Amino acid sequence: MAIPLGLRLGEPLGLRWQDVDLEAGTLRIAYQLQRLHGQWELVEPKTSRNRRTIALLLSTVQALRDHRKRQLEEKLLAGPQWQETGLVFTTRVGTPLDRPNIVRRSFKLILKKAGLPDIRFHDLRHTAASLLLVQGVSPRVVMENLGHSQISLTMDTYSHVMPVLQREAADKLEAILSGNN
């Protein structure tokens, strides 16, 4: 979900099943999982822009359906040990995933096994935005998907994709003006 949606790590970890609409193919970012005073807590995002609804890829909808089925099987196996949190991503007993110890370590292992360079989890957010911009998605849509407060933040952060977009714009304009469209 990190690449297709460009989520911050706390956002999928705070995602509740009640905020996922698999029929409509959307999810709502209403909470983040954060460690406060030594406890994991669901907290509302800092700004109203960070509380947002995002359209899901069909492959992400299917992955979430498969994940939900696995999670229900884990719940049955855990029996009375299961702690119902309503979270989409949990341990095998329903508790929130401990960010530093589980998610980041697992992510690094996946990268290593795939022979990919060592990157931060947050870099997947940058990948999502860059891919969307290079595909010609409106910067305004990218801004809203990422939950940025201003379009200038989106464009300043992802300015490295601008040369590709500028070349594409010039080529399209050339085609129009030369009558080769």
Catalytic position from the list 37, 140, 148, 172: 148
In three-state secondary structure terms, 58 is helix
Contact criterion met (CB below 8 Å) for 34 and 41: yes
Exposed/middle/buried for residue 72 (C-beta within 10 Å: 0-12, 13-18, 19+): exposed
What pLDDT does 181 receive?
Answer: 64
Catalytic position from the list 28, 49, 65, 125: 125
Q: Any idea how long the chain is?
A: 181
What pLDDT does 28 receive?
Answer: 95
* Residue spans per domain, the chain: 1-116, 119-181
Catalytic position from the list 46, 67, 112, 160: 46
What pLDDT does 19 receive?
Answer: 97
Active site residue 31: no
Residue pLDDT, tens place only, 48-63: 888 999 999 999 999 9
What pLDDT does 163 receive?
Answer: 74
Catalytic position from the list 69, 92, 158, 160: 158
Task: Report CA Rg, the chain.
Answer: 19
What pLDDT does 156 receive?
Answer: 78
pTM of the shown model = 0.81
What pLDDT does 50 receive?
Answer: 86
Contact criterion met (CB below 8 Å) for 1 and 12: yes
Distance CA 167, CA 164 (A): 5
Distance CA 125, CA 3 (A): 6
Mean pLDDT, contiguous 10-residue spans, the chain (181 residues) = 87 95 96 86 85 93 97 96 95 83 87 94 88 86 86 78 75 85 64
Distance CA 87, CA 29 (A): 12
Active site residue 120: no
CATH for the stretch 1-116: 1.10.443.10
Active site residue 140: no
Active site residue 158: yes
**DSSP symbol at 45:** -
Q: What is the amino acid identity at position 16?
A: R
